[in-house]
Amino acid sequence: MKSENNGRVAVVTGGASSIGQAVARRLAEDGHDIAIADIATADETSGMVSQAGRECLARRCDISSGESVGAFADAVFERFGRCDVLVACAAIYPVMDFADTTWEDWRRYMSVNLDSLFHLTKAFLPGMVEAGWGRIITFTSTTFYAGTPHFVAYTTTKGGMIGFVRALATEVGSSGVTVNAIAPSIVRTKGTLAGRQQELGMFDACLSLQAIKRTEEPEDLVGAVSFFASDDSAFVTGQTLPVDGGLVRV
């Protein structure tokens, strides 16, 4: 456990399972207390955080709703008094042809994946700026670089995240706050295994392009999160780091 992080608080969205759960566990092991926002209950993750010797607050939260995020933020500040690290993991990843995408579908994907980043940052950035230290980390996707078919709406949200990261990093760089993104390849999760990804051969397609010949797991991403959340990343901001087994080389 890194003593430098003791007393710091990390907010993790989507922390009930999959990538968010792996991130919450790693940050707890690094010495952070954890606040989880998810539409599902996060009892299992809370247990992991407790096993790491850290405190955990878990709340049901609709990250697409500014009101819901505001209520969650109030609970975080009431419990911990601060948020030092914000990790936005939660997202939806529809596999859908553009011809079949309705306006209602489009707005839902934008709301959950991109508008949520606005709501979360509005809630937690001011405290970071006031403290003179903070880390904002979001998950984009290598679909932005690859132009993957069946993912027009999803890729658009992820491209928006990259623009958000670059611009916000410039605005807050003098405040001791860094803003970065991580771009995974297709990750083996309950969601991707249950979706159309296997039917479309996406796991095999990505594997054929990767330098590292195995499918990505949630645990492959936590080292990058740990770095971006630490003091070691103080001079790194506005960046998108592909953590994808060498699928894209930028």
Residues marked active site are found at 154
Strand ranges (DSSP E) for the chain?
9-13, 33-38, 56-60, 85-88, 134-139, 177-184, 240-243
φ, ψ of residue 241 in degrees (nearest 5)? -100, 115
Q: Which residues contact 80 (CB under 8 A, 6 or more apart)?
A: 9, 33, 35, 55, 57
Cα(103)–Cα(151) distance, rounded to whole angstroms? 15
Neighbours of 108 (CB within 10 A): 15
**What is the rounded CA–CA span in Å between residue 241 and residue 220?**
13
- The first and second tokens of residue 80, run together, are 């911990």
- Asked if 240 and 181 count as a contact pair (C-beta separation under 8 A), the reply is yes
Angle at 31 (CA atoms; ends 25, 32), nearest 5 degrees: 70
